[in-house]
Amino acid sequence: MVSKRERATKIVATLGPASSSPEMIKALYEAGVDVFRLNFSHGTQENHGRVLGAVRALEKEVGRPIGVLADLQGPKLRLGRFVDGFINLTAGTTIRFDTDTAPGDEKRVPIPHPEILEALHEGSTVLLDDGKVRVRVVKKGNGYIEAEVIAGNKLSNNKGFNVPDVLLPVSALTDKDRSDLFFALDLGVEWIALSFVQRPEDVIEAKELIQGRAQVNLKLEKPQAVEHLTRLTELSDSIMVARGDLGVELSLPEIPALQKRVIRESRRLGKPVIVATQMLESMISAPVPTRAEVSDVATAVYDGADAVMLSAESAAGQYPVEAVAMMDQIIKQVERDPGYRAIIESQRPDAGHSVADAVTQAAYQAALSIDAAAIVTYTLSGTTTLHAARERPRIPIVGIASQLSTARRLVMSYGVHVVHAPEEIHTFGEMATKATQVTVEHGFAKEGDKIAITAGVPFATPGTTNVLRLVTVDKSIATRKPRPEDKTDTLRPRAAAKSAGGAAVRSMPVADKAD
């Protein structure tokens, strides 16, 4: 029987030095990873290409779609160097920042970004080394600023800096990002994650370059992006709550409420949302997490996130497999909590007004009424399945995708067990027969169980969710042993299966209505 996850919330894990071998990638997958992240802030393109090759080989071995997210570095701003490699700053003192490339000292700091100096103004706050050092601009001149040290500390070479209250005149895509972007697209990744997005134009620019070859994941890291949250969510295909950089540029007490707001908005618009950064941070060097970290992961699950993510824990930590297994256990425990379902239901967004929204909501209500074993969605682009995931149903979603790229993308979505089935569907009978075969073979249904099926007519037309059908699994399918030609998840080309014309399915009287 094809393996399936016993949870609805998905796991994203970053691959790196601790987890780049084929053996470790397989171990992570078996521990619970659904989507692998390639972090282009580290490593070389050659290394990332080799790692992705191992993921694709694993995908063929296990016969299940696996998603890959390529995370671009973005315009990471960094200081220059110091004569002694570091300086010590004391609160209350004044220091100069300028574009001179000569090494700095206690009196001046080199900042090789003249456009940033130009954008700053008196009163601007500059955060250095992830906020460990905080200064405020008190004077601005030609090619320099003078700033008062508000919070002092040791400051080393090439540390990053953030400017939280200024819209920076830089694109979200650097020259390095463009090179990495086209490399990742040529590799065939499913998701491109954009870093340090500030405005809708940043996403539009990226999508023009991507040209539909992958979907866009917006990393929410800048306060300016929060101001455009709804528009950015509409433009993007998924959202990542990247709490590390958000926690530098926003006050830390604001982050929990913002996390909930982003999850609600993403769910309202039917876009997958990932909660990321420092979720099990202590497991970089310890075999077990802290109680607070366990609660943090649990909170994201209670909030209704599609996925939770591991960064350094799986990329460079000493216990990558244990971290994934722990996250898997936390999710399962939360989703078994009797109070979890009540929370998820209470957060359901208002009903949409499209035909697809109406059909999807009717499918869920009908599935509950008949105690269905699964909701089956047929999809070409993924839209039909995303509508179902938006409802956060207590019933499993079996997403049947005719395109492998769509199947890999849907792995990220809440509650979706994705099946890649490239056979063309031409009739309702074929649709119902295929749906029952898949749900039986993948362990979601047995003889006598009912399933709810949603699809779009005409078939193989993106964005036309307009059909609901309820069927009962008949003995001829439930007791039949799978045949080689029936396998639906080998990820290899195969001839179209012969239709049983619906003979093996007892349809229940539900109207099928097309636009």
Q: 5 pLDDT exceeds 80?
A: yes
Q: Which of 9, 14, 233, 277 is catalytic?
A: 277
- Please give the structure tokens belonging to residue 486: 């029936």
- Residues 403/369, Cβ–Cβ less than 8 Å: no
Domains of the chain: 10-74+171-336 (3.20.20.60), 86-162 (2.40.33.10), 355-507 (3.40.1380.20)
- Residues 81/101, Cβ–Cβ less than 8 Å: no
Look at residue 490 in the predicted model and tell me its pLDDT: 41
Q: Which of 78, 154, 475, 513 is catalytic?
A: 78
Q: Which of 219, 222, 267, 450 is catalytic?
A: 219
Q: Per-residue pLDDT tens for 347-401?
A: 888 877 788 888 888 888 999 999 999 999 999 899 889 999 999 999 999 999 9
Residue 265's nearest CA partner among 305, 219, 310, 223 is: 305
Q: 507 pLDDT exceeds 70?
A: no
461 flagged as catalytic = no
Q: Per-residue pLDDT tens for 69-126?
A: 999 999 988 899 999 999 999 999 999 999 998 999 989 999 988 988 999 999 999 9
Question: Residues 157-164: what's their mean pLDDT?
Answer: 88
7 flagged as catalytic = no
Q: How far apart are CA 87 and CA 109, in angstroms?
A: 9
For residue 481, the 8-state DSSP code is P
- Residues 391/360, Cβ–Cβ less than 8 Å: yes
Q: Per-residue pLDDT tens for 430-482?
A: 888 999 999 999 999 999 999 999 987 777 677 677 888 999 998 776 555 54
Q: How confident is the model at residue 29 (pLDDT cuts 50, 70, 90)?
A: very high
Look at residue 185 in the predicted model and tell me its pLDDT: 98
231 flagged as catalytic = no
Angle, alpha carbons 72-73-74 (nearest 5°) = 95
pTM (predicted TM-score) = 0.89
Question: Residues 323-329: what's their mean pLDDT?
Answer: 98
Q: 306 pLDDT exceeds 60?
A: yes
277 flagged as catalytic = yes
Q: How confident is the model at residue 491 (pLDDT cuts 50, 70, 90)?
A: very low
- Residues 436/445, Cβ–Cβ less than 8 Å: yes
Q: How far apart are CA 381 and CA 385, in angstroms?
A: 9
Look at residue 508 in the predicted model and tell me its pLDDT: 45
- Residues 98/110, Cβ–Cβ less than 8 Å: yes
Please state, for a pLDDT cut of 90, what percent of the chain lies above it. Answer: 72
Query: C-alpha dihedral over 440, 445, 449, 453, to 10 degrees?
Result: -80
Q: Is omega for the bond preceding 458 within 30 degrees of 0, making it cis?
A: yes
Residue 416's nearest CA partner among 92, 127, 35 is: 35
Q: Which of 7, 37, 267, 450 is catalytic?
A: 37
Q: How confident is the model at residue 149 (pLDDT cuts 50, 70, 90)?
A: very high
Residue 330's nearest CA partner among 293, 303, 304, 305 is: 293
- Is 221 strand, coil or helix? coil
